[in-house]
Chains A and B, each alone.
Chain A
């Protein structure tokens, strides 16, 4: 496997290296851009060599630690790659689409797929909506302490998710946690959030929203600041109220940012792993088992690596499909 990619990379390098084949875009465009410079011809050869020398370290690392593993995952997904193959990869048997076929009759996998979809379908709109509200309040609602609030809302994004998940586990503890305290202040008993099949996933969504609102907020602040103030002023002169201004100007002009934020939040949430790993280990009764956690377990606890590879590719295809769909929406809307 490694030789194939190695050859491909070398072939590409040979093709590109000496600069005999006409390049499709870069070269003629640049010559058009700078007419009448005779000295450039000599420097082109130098730039060709330099360009490839400067690219080589990245390309080597990329080939070995990214391109090769991506391809290898695909190949592994068609084999019965198991524990013994970690030392003897070539012994794995080709079994065609068996892993993929098995996946779709595997209740555990279907459940993890459902759980991930649940997490995304509820979590993404909540994150986007709250991020938008905070950004609008920060940008138009107040005149001081902006940095202070921005830092406060963004802080959860940068903190170590494992530590944060440990904290949230305790916050949600039904007997001595923070939420339990709030419940008892008003004379109620807190439910066992993470121990309940129906509440565990919503609790995890709450934590994810809490953690990611800051990212979306920053994107929206950048988007809001790109809206020219004249447009706002004009709307105000025409007698537009707060709500009319928001619906008529802010929302349409922010649409590209909304879709972009949706794309990256969706990708992040489809890969959700640390939260269930630390908070619930997928339980109770697999109610928080996500595709990524399921893949990790099949691959690294049970060493069903071929099977886990198939899972990784199914998730990848889902992510690509959804991203392409969302990007298409993005394109249509920016026109």
Chain B
């Protein structure tokens, strides 16, 4: 990845005016930075294919001389990764869909409907953006225990079913829809639900895409709540399963090779998704200013 860019830097440099040393220097610094950024990922990927002896070699072996899939095999033996993968997918999909629907609904109301109390509700949304998640964990656990939702998908999904970030994002986008369009539909006798579902929602598809990606990834990467809301290993999400495996005090978890293989399998789908959809990420951050 990093090396591939070096020729580009060399090629552009002579084309510029000789006094301009800025460009090659910038390329060199950025390439060095990118090497540091990608080093842990490369190390993870390479290590997951190393044999046990090469993994524990000191000084370490950089590139495996003998590539092996043993780490992955052993990991899948010890850890039911397909199950955790499915748990993570189910929770993330449910959280994403409910956010798309509920956040869009409130976003539409805040952007396009005049109703008494609108400003107060928007104030609540802005306030909710600022409250750290830690503040809710303890009573939320008690509440979920009372509702018998510990170790259930509902327990994992409900606290994240509608986030203030999504409302904020959708409101921002929907405000740019011309009022005349909605007025015209109202004149034609369209109800608010029809206008929302058939006119507004198709117009904010880019925003819905951005919100989907952020919500899905947020849920996929979420750790603290699934850690608290699950006791039964069969209901663990991927991060909880991996962390439990990695921090097992009895060291039943085993070798670094297995852990690297596990991390590799958890990180890979996220990286692929990100690289495929990277335009939406930067747009989303530029629009909403949040990560």
Bound: A309/B186 CA distance, A: 50
Q: Which residues of B contact A167 (CB under 8 A)?
A: 40-41, 43-44, 260, 263, 267
Q: Does B85 belong to the interface (CB within 8 Å)? A: no
Chain A, 227-244, contact with B by CB distance < 8 Å: what is the 0/1 string? 000000000000000100
Chain B, 97-134, contact with A by CB distance < 8 Å: what is the 0/1 string? 00001110110110001111111110010001011111
Q: Which residues of B contact A59 (CB under 8 A)?
A: 106, 121, 124
Q: Does A312 belong to the interface (CB within 8 Å)? A: yes
Given A50-B113, A65-B140, A219-B285, answer yes or no on A152-B162 (Cβ-Cβ < 8 Å).
no
The listed residue with most A CB atoms (<10 A of its CB), out of B12, B134, B267, is B134
User: By the criterion CB–CB under 8 Å, are A23 and B116 in contact?
Assistant: yes
Q: Which of A100-108, A176-184, A196-204, A247-255 contacts B (4 or more CB under 8 A)?
A: A176-184
Q: Which residues of B contact A3 (CB under 8 A)?
A: none
Given A46-B192, A176-B58, A177-B60, answer yes or no on A295-B134 (Cβ-Cβ < 8 Å).
yes
Q: Does A38 belong to the interface (CB within 8 Å)? A: no
Q: Does B203 belong to the interface (CB within 8 Å)? A: no
User: By the criterion CB–CB under 8 Å, are B242 and A176 in contact?
Assistant: no
B55 to chain A, nearest CB (A): 7
User: By the criterion CB–CB under 8 Å, are B270 and A160 in contact?
Assistant: yes
Closest to A48 in B: B115
User: By the criterion CB–CB under 8 Å, are B285 and A159 in contact?
Assistant: no
Closest to A173 in B: B256
Bound: A178/B260 CA distance, A: 13
User: By the criterion CB–CB under 8 Å, are A142 and B26 in contact?
Assistant: yes
Given A68-B139, A178-B60, answer yes or no on A19-B116 (Cβ-Cβ < 8 Å).
yes
Bound: A141/B21 CA distance, A: 10
User: By the criterion CB–CB under 8 Å, are A260 and B289 in contact?
Assistant: yes
Given A57-B102, A153-B33, answer yes or no on A141-B271 (Cβ-Cβ < 8 Å).
no
Bound: A144/B44 CA distance, A: 29
Q: How many residues in A have their beta carbons less than 8 Å from beta carbons of B?
A: 117
Q: Does B17 belong to the interface (CB within 8 Å)? A: no
Q: Which residues of A contact B115 (CB under 8 A)?
A: 16, 19, 26, 47-52
Q: Does B161 belong to the interface (CB within 8 Å)? A: yes
- B residues contacting A by CB (< 8 A) are 1-2, 5, 8, 12, 22-23, 25-27, 29-30, 33-34, 36-41, 43-44, 47, 55-60, 62, 101-103, 105-106, 108-109, 113-121, 124, 128, 130-143, 145-146, 158-159, 161-162, 167, 186, 192-193, 196, 217, 220-221, 223-224, 228, 238-240, 242-243, 246-247, 256, 259-260, 262-263, 266-267, 270-271, 273-275, 278, 281-282, 285-286, 289-291
Contact of A58 among B25, B47, B159, B167 (CB under 8 A): B167
Q: Does A62 belong to the interface (CB within 8 Å)? A: yes
Bound: A264/B118 CA distance, A: 27
A to B CB contacts below 8 Å, 24 in the list: A16-B116, A54-B113, A55-B106, A70-B131, A72-B142, A89-B142, A137-B29, A141-B26, A142-B23, A142-B26, A144-B8, A149-B30, A154-B278, A155-B37, A162-B223, A167-B43, A167-B44, A167-B260, A171-B43, A210-B40, A222-B286, A264-B291, A278-B246, A319-B132
User: By the criterion CB–CB under 8 Å, are A164 and B228 in contact?
Assistant: no
Given A51-B109, A58-B106, A159-B267, answer yes or no on A176-B138 (Cβ-Cβ < 8 Å).
no
User: By the criterion CB–CB under 8 Å, are A161 and B221 in contact?
Assistant: yes
Bound: A72/B142 CA distance, A: 10
User: By the criterion CB–CB under 8 Å, are A149 and B246 in contact?
Assistant: no
Question: How many A-B contacts if CB must be within 8 Å?
Answer: 333
- Among all A-B residue pairs, the 10 with the closest Cβ atoms: A51-B115, A141-B26, A16-B117, A72-B139, A184-B59, A50-B192, A69-B136, A54-B109, A163-B263, A162-B239
User: By the criterion CB–CB under 8 Å, are A58 and B105 in contact?
Assistant: yes
Chain A, 14-35, contact with B by CB distance < 8 Å: what is the 0/1 string? 0111010101111100100000
Q: Which residues of A contact B136 (CB under 8 A)?
A: 65-66, 69-70, 73
Q: Does A316 belong to the interface (CB within 8 Å)? A: yes
User: By the criterion CB–CB under 8 Å, are B105 and A47 in contact?
Assistant: no
Closest to B160 in A: A65
A227 to chain B, nearest CB (A): 14
User: By the criterion CB–CB under 8 Å, are B135 and A312 in contact?
Assistant: yes
User: By the criterion CB–CB under 8 Å, are A218 and B282 in contact?
Assistant: yes
A295 to chain B, nearest CB (A): 6
Q: Does A87 belong to the interface (CB within 8 Å)? A: yes
Closest to A292 in B: B134
User: By the criterion CB–CB under 8 Å, are B114 and A70 in contact?
Assistant: no
Bound: A48/B239 CA distance, A: 43
User: By the criterion CB–CB under 8 Å, are B267 and A160 in contact?
Assistant: yes
User: By the criterion CB–CB under 8 Å, are B59 and A73 in contact?
Assistant: no
A289 to chain B, nearest CB (A): 15
Contacts A44-B114, A180-B59 known; 6 new A-B pairs at CB < 8 A: A61-B102, A154-B281, A161-B221, A162-B246, A180-B58, A300-B228
Q: Does A305 belong to the interface (CB within 8 Å)? A: yes
User: By the criterion CB–CB under 8 Å, are B242 and A163 in contact?
Assistant: yes
User: By the criterion CB–CB under 8 Å, are A312 and B138 in contact?
Assistant: yes
Bound: A55/B110 CA distance, A: 9
A215 to chain B, nearest CB (A): 5
B177 to chain A, nearest CB (A): 15
Contact of A155 among B12, B33, B271 (CB under 8 A): B271
User: By the criterion CB–CB under 8 Å, are B285 and A218 in contact?
Assistant: yes
A93 to chain B, nearest CB (A): 16
Q: Does A138 belong to the interface (CB within 8 Å)? A: yes
